[in-house]
Amino acid sequence: MRFNQQSLPSDDNLNRFAFCTDVKGDMVIRRGKMIACYGQLRFEALGSSVLDLGVRRSFNAPAYVNDFMGVTGQGKLILGDNGNDIAAYLVEDATFTLKADHVLGFQTSLKCQESTLPGYVTLIGSGRLIASSNGPVVFMEPPCRVDEDAILGWADLPSPSYRYDYAYVQGILGAVGAMAGMTRSGEERQLDFIGKGTVLVQSSEEGLAGRSGLASVIAQISGLHQNELAQLSQAIAGRMTRR
């Protein structure tokens, strides 16, 4: 199907992998995810002094300031993310926490802050946000445990805690996996959710297509124990000497 400014949908998917959003004033989007646009739109860095004050005030996550930019004006904006699934979520006077590298855009009526859990941002207020995922998203009610690689985010819930299945780790499979140098799996470590709210789970444990795994590794370092950090340091040193 051939689209133009009049035939494009309003705040809806073109297909699983592309989303068209109406810009009426200003919003925040992830850098490099605009694939087409119509209308009079201006794109500015979040640190720009000429950027609308409302855009700058809605973004309070300095660790990710270089990953996003502001859009102001009137028009239609089409977002894509390397063939990953894209969906929009309507937040109504709520808190919505997502993996930071999955957030593609949000209206400035939402305030974006860094989450207490590394690698995540929390959006507070009311408005629409757009996010990508590896496969369709499943909505779950707590209490539940989720593989940390499969989690996308959660709404109106406190930050989850980590649960380690030491019986599995100390079992035969865990011992064999450690000897073989296998990485930790969702059977060994999960995010434990309690309370009333919603948990968003991806249909895959794999990372987003077209993304480097470095950001994910850095985000998880703070959750490692000292012996795990020592093993990581040794692995990095060994890799560097082989180059």
Residue 172 is predicted with a pLDDT of: 46
- Asked if the model's pLDDT at residue 240 lies above 50, the reply is yes
- Asked if the model's pLDDT at residue 213 lies above 70, the reply is no
Domain count, the chain: 1
Residue 2 is predicted with a pLDDT of: 87
> CA–CA separation, 91 vs 110, rounded Å?
8
116: left (phi over 0), alpha (psi -120 to 50) or beta: alpha
Q: How confident is the model at residue 208 (pLDDT cuts 50, 70, 90)?
A: confident
- The proportion of the chain whose per-residue pLDDT surpasses 90, expressed as a percent, equals 57
- Asked if the model's pLDDT at residue 73 lies above 50, the reply is yes
Is residue 168, in this structure, part of any structural domain at all? Answer: no
Is residue 74, in this structure, part of any structural domain at all? Answer: yes
- Which secondary-structure segment (H or E) carries 158? none
- Asked if the model's pLDDT at residue 5 lies above 60, the reply is yes
Is residue 222, in this structure, part of any structural domain at all? Answer: no
Is residue 33, in this structure, part of any structural domain at all? Answer: yes
Is residue 152, in this structure, part of any structural domain at all? Answer: no
- The proportion of the chain whose per-residue pLDDT surpasses 70, expressed as a percent, equals 79
Residue 182 is predicted with a pLDDT of: 47
**111-119 average pLDDT score:** 93
What single string gives the DSSP state of each residue in 85-119? EEEEEEEEEEEEEEEGGGEEEEETTEEEEE-SSTT
Is residue 43, in this structure, part of any structural domain at all? Answer: yes
Residue 96's CATH number: 3.60.160.10
Is residue 84, in this structure, part of any structural domain at all? Answer: yes
Note the pTM of the prediction, 2 decimals: 0.78
Residue 212 is predicted with a pLDDT of: 54
Is residue 64, in this structure, part of any structural domain at all? Answer: yes
Over the stretch 164-191, which tens digit does the pLDDT of each residue have? 876 655 654 545 555 445 445 556 778 9
Is 151 in contact with 199 (CB distance < 8 Å)?
yes
Over the stretch 7-23, which tens digit does the pLDDT of each residue have? 999 999 999 999 999 99
- Asked if the model's pLDDT at residue 163 lies above 50, the reply is yes
What single string gives the DSSP state of each residue in 39-56? EEEEEEETT-TTS-HHHH
Residue 103: domain span? 7-133
Angle among Cα 236, 32, 19 to the nearest 5 degrees reads 120
Q: Which residue, among 17, 14, 11, has the nearest Cα to 3 in the 3D structure?
A: 14
Helix (H, G, I), strand (E, B) or coil at 190: strand
Q: How confident is the model at residue 57 (pLDDT cuts 50, 70, 90)?
A: confident
